[in-house]
Amino acid sequence: MIRRNFLMGTLAGAALLISGGIAEAEGRNPDTLRVALLPDENASTIIQNAQPFKEYLGGALDKEIELVVTTDYSSMIEAMRFGRIDVAYFGPLSYVLAKSRAPEIEAFAVGVSRGSPTYKSVIITQADSLVQSIDDIKGRTMGFGDNASTSSHLIPRAFLARHELEAETDYEFAHLGTHDAVARAVEAGNVDAGGLSQEIFNSLIERGSIDSDKVKVLAESDPIPNYPMVYQGDLAPELKDAIKQAFLDLDDEAILQTFRAEGFVATDDGAYDILRETAKVLNLDLAKFN
């Protein structure tokens, strides 16, 4: 009897392990998806503008959608790393940083603008500034956005380095947080020049947030792989497929404006290797980057 009870207990334990393994293999399928949007502008504006997107995604997936805007890029990376968000709209560099700390996350879609899954960074200055060329930034002050921003830090900094202008050696700089903060600082003359996304700069001009008579574009970068949509690798395969398809099917212009895109196409991690190479040029250690 003891032997029989032991055997039954062993079989029951094995069944639990097997069922647990199957559940783990099937992945998570939560009733509520936490979706983070990149904090590249004012958080309340982002949440307000994203309400139609929230309704669309919730309807497409038959799930509750909780929109999240973290305080900065680093906190968004950490939230993804520790599983506090399920899906995220990352900047290219912040995605690469997140991937270096959470290898299980997966880039699955990228926004298309003007028919291309790329965008550009611009360096701007005041319209009547003494800064008339990139070389004139030497000895002056440069405004960058978040430290983990692609088009508001990494790319403009690399652009300056190609012109033999090194940060802290040839020019001073300040991290101002968001792209719109950079544009406003330039407009007000608080910094001599600033780097930010071309799409965001154009949007600020169109909305009247920045006076086009007071600022001008000094230079623009080569194309950069656009902002990726990313999800946690431990989500159920059928849920990941549904999320990906919802973005690929998205054709509502008003909703797409949330992402400054005309649509989404599929992507993968390899598309962002150029950011890793750019970081190497600047001798930036992504593992220690904040």
What is the tens place of the pLDDT at every residue in 132-179?
A: 999 999 999 999 999 889 999 999 999 999 999 999 999 999 999 999
Query: 21-25, 53-57, 206-210, 267-271: which has the minimum mean pLDDT?
Result: 21-25
Distance CA 176, CA 141 (A): 12
Give the DSSP H/E element, type plus range, for residue 185.
helix 179-188
Phi and psi torsions of 172, nearest 5°: -90, 160
Compute how many other C-beta atoms are within 10 angstroms of the C-beta atom of residue 46: 17
Question: In the predicted model, what is the mean pLDDT of residues 210-221?
Answer: 97
pLDDT at 142: 98
Using CA of residue 170, residue 176, residue 180, residue 186, what is the dihedral sign?
Answer: negative
Average pLDDT of every residue of the chain: 90
Provide the pLDDT for residue 253.
95
CA gap 276, 38 in Å, rounded: 20
Question: Whole-prediction pTM value?
Answer: 0.77
What whole-number distance in Å separates Cα of residue 257 and Cα of residue 262? 8
Q: Is 211 within 8 Å of 124 (Cβ atoms)?
A: no
Q: What is the pLDDT of residue 286?
A: 72
Distance of alpha carbon 271 from alpha carbon 110, whole angstroms: 10
CATH code that applies to domain 32-112+227-288: 3.40.190.10
CATH class of the region 121-222: alpha beta
Tokens 């550009």 sit on residue: 120
Q: What is the pLDDT of residue 287?
A: 66
Task: Give start-end residues of each CATH 3.40.190.10 domain in the chain.
Answer: 32-112+227-288, 121-222
Q: How many CB atoms neighbour CB 4 within 10 A?
A: 8
Q: Which residues contact 260 (CB under 8 A, 6 or more apart)?
A: 111, 113, 119, 199, 200, 203
Alpha carbons within 13 A on the beta-carbon side of 12: 6
Q: Are 91 and 217 in contact (CB under 8 A)?
A: no
Fill in the DSSP letter of residue 116: B
